[in-house]
Structure 1
Amino acid sequence: MPVDLSGRVYVVGSVPVLHPEAQTLNEMLEGWRNQQLCRNLDADTVAGRARLVERFIEATNEFPWTWTPSMVEEFFSDLRSVKRRKQSTVRGYQNALRMFCSYVSDPDYGWDRVCEQRFGTHPAQVFFEWNTASHVQDNEQSPAKRAFTKQELQDFFDHADDRVALVAASARKGWLPAYRDATMFKVAYSYGLRFNELRHLQTVDFSRNAHAGEFGRHGVVQVRYGKAKKGSPPKRRGVLTVFTWTPEIITDWLAHGQACMSAGLDLFPSERGALVAENTLLRRFRRYCRDLELPDGLDLHSLRRSYATHLIEDGWDAKFVQDQMGHDHASTTSLYTCVSSDYRVSTLRRALDSTITSALSFDQESS
């Protein structure tokens, strides 16, 4: 039974099919795929949602036209209580399955007529407000997640450099990937980058900043694969270099690292010439954290949190930090900042001293 490019059934065949349940499911998934692609959603997103539908069918052993709310409750109770999935993960799964139910139960797409003809029933929406997780606050990240302190970050970078020197001195393979990863950690912090933004950087993305000539040709980096909004391409932004040591790190890597791994434009190629996978960098990150016995709560994204936090602590303007991070709203940037106690105390002290000074000046003028 063909479906058009917008996901609508346009021919209802009268010839009996050999395996109607499996064929109808495949046609539903194909139609849903077409409907989502029409909305300009990414192909990987579409494929992931289809796999989730198949996973739900496997768990319930029921096809979409026989789903009930009780199946929803049973499936997600297992995810929460047994598999310990995060709140945001559960909500994401529920949203995807809710969208699938909305598609197959919408009369405009014709699946109700198909299912009535073949099975004597029709699909219905089984995901409601009362049996799904709600999104009631902006920040749902784990409370354990945090930024590095400046000392922790320095220790982490030093340890990464030491590991490169140790592997190189032992004449073993692996010093080049270790050097690449150490540089990636530093560049991620230097510009407050997400991992996907970092891995897509190319040598041609850097340019001079006419107002900060001391940074040379690495005064600005064009981030071309920023976090996209729904149905939109990756968001671009320019990030200014703020640390004096950053250009030296990049220049050294280009001369002694990147040139040995690839003749292409990618700044951080893998050993096979492709882009670095997140798990590759994450494994090394976790190993270094264990070596240093750093407390829990640090992950790759902590480098981005640290960038925002440290700039605010050092007195940079909040609007500047917001623009550097690529946030549309200041409230989003505030979620990234984990300002230290020392900064809070010094800020409070400055405010109190200013208040006292003003009061004394007023008393002197009055007398």
Structure 2
Amino acid sequence: MWTEMLQGWAAQQFARNLSAGTVEARRGTVVRFREFAGAYPWEWTAGTVDEFFLELRALKGAARSTVLGYQNALRMFLEYLTDPAYGWCRQCWERFGDHPAQVFHEWNTARHAQDALGSPGKRPYTRDELEDLFDCADERVLRIRRSGAKGWIPAFRTATIMKVAYAWGLRRNEVRRLDLVDFAPNPQARQFGNAGIVYVRHGKAMRGSPPKRRSVLTLPEFDWAVECVRQWTEEVRPLYAPPRSTGMWPSERGNAAIAADSLSRAFNEVKRAAGLDEDLDFHSLRRSYVTHLVEIGYDAFFIQQQVGHEHASTTSIYTGLSPDYRARVVNGAISRMAGEAMAANKEPAL
């Protein structure tokens, strides 16, 4: 019965066009809760819910977003089991004299009451921090190469991926799954050569939808990244990529793309070597892109299109304006007000 419940729930989710990764992650959460409870769904209680999440938060230090994700998965599983259309309650009652009940309620679960659940430490890099990060990545490549040790090409790959993620505002999965053909000329900006546009084919998917595609224009402020891409694709990648490979960042094992975990580990090594805050992560490169475009003065809707946000409010969450920029805005406003006041008080010419 338990196995059939899991299989039926998986089928329901696939019918909603959810990805295999999402379905498997939710299944893992449900299996973990069953093992903790030592009981099957028709025996679960609200008290078990409290004990499970007390251990998850107090003993294992799970983040709020992790807790929310677990609770949503378990709630949806019980919604499926208690739906009369699937008949699980009737079958359980006939076989066990008991039936599943919804034990995840408003009073014992977290609510998604805001758009961003990340740690307060999740913020954009300052320009100085970015410079330290990229310098550390480049120095790591030189140090490995001069020592004669293997590994300078993977280190070069990591450094280039970081710069590309920042210069085009890409998510980790978006940048790691790029192909050579995803870089193309922009007829309106030929100075960027073959990197005038980046076509993102693996953007963040909406629920039940395939990955969202978009094109990201190369901007003049990031023209330095064009040379980084050229150096990687023409000089370094050919030393590393298997024959007929089209992946932009092939892995050490010859796979089409570097694994997400491998990229995160390599990035974290560079970040720690640069002495940066632990809360600053790979996604902070994207936050920095949005913030710096706002500071430069790009239109808000243009920025939203560049980063592929469905709503402008999402883009605003990413923005963390620097104190220097805010000071310039205030000083500019004061100067304008002073100028207007002086013009108003100026005596008319006779």
Per the normalisation by structure 2, the TM-score is: 0.95
Residue 234 of structure 2 is aligned to residue 255 of structure 1: yes
Q: Secondary structure at the match of 2:107?
A: helix
Q: Which amino acid aligns with 1:223?
A: V
CA–CA separation in structure 1 for the residues paired with 2:348 and 2:314: 45
CA 136–366 in structure 1, closer or farther in 2 if over 3 Å, else same: farther
Q: Secondary structure at the match of 1:156?
A: helix
Q: How many aligned residue pairs are there?
A: 344
CA 214–122 in structure 1, closer or farther in 2 if over 3 Å, else same: same
Specify the alignment match of 2:319 in structure 1.
337
Specify the alignment match of 1:215 in structure 2.
192
Residue 277 of structure 2 is aligned to residue 300 of structure 1: no
Render the CA deviation track for 1:284-323: whole Å, top value 9, x for unaligned. 2222222222233311111111111112222222222221
User: What's the Cα RMSD here?
Assistant: 1.3
Residue 108 of structure 2 is aligned to residue 131 of structure 1: yes
How far did 1:156 drift?
1.3
Render the CA deviation track for 1:38-63: whole Å, top value 9, x for unaligned. 11111111111111111111101010
Q: Secondary structure at the match of 2:320?
A: coil
Q: How does 1:225-264 map to 2 (within 5 A)?
A: 225-242=202-219, 243-262=222-241, 263=243, 264=245
Residue 139 of structure 2 is aligned to residue 162 of structure 1: yes
Q: How does 1:1-367 map to 2 (within 5 A)?
A: 24-242=1-219, 243-262=222-241, 263=243, 264-274=245-255, 275-364=257-346
CA–CA separation in structure 1 for the residues paired with 2:84 and 2:320: 49
Render the CA deviation track for 1:103-147: whole Å, top value 9, x for unaligned. 111111011121112111111111111111011111211001111
CA–CA separation in structure 2 for the residues paired with 1:71 and 1:366: 81
CA–CA separation in structure 1 for the residues paired with 2:4 and 2:154: 45
Q: Secondary structure at the match of 2:155?
A: helix
Q: Which amino acid aligns with 2:232?
A: W
Percent of aligned positions that are identical: 51
Question: 2:272·2:278 contact (CA, 8 Å) conserved in 1?
Answer: no
CA–CA separation in structure 2 for the residues paired with 1:63 and 1:295: 43
Q: Secondary structure at the match of 2:282?
A: coil
CA–CA separation in structure 2 for the residues paired with 1:54 and 1:226: 29
CA–CA separation in structure 2 for the residues paired with 1:352 and 1:127: 53
Q: Give 5+ residue unaligned stretches, structure 2.
A: none
Name segments (4+ residues, structure 1) moved above 4 Å: none
Q: Which amino acid aligns with 1:247?
A: V
Render the CA deviation track for 1:71-108: whole Å, top value 9, x for unaligned. 11111111111111111110110111011101111111
Per the normalisation by structure 1, the TM-score is: 0.91
Q: Which amino acid aligns with 2:24?
A: A
How far did 1:337 drift?
1.2
- Larger RCO, structure (CA 8 Å, separation 6 or more): 2
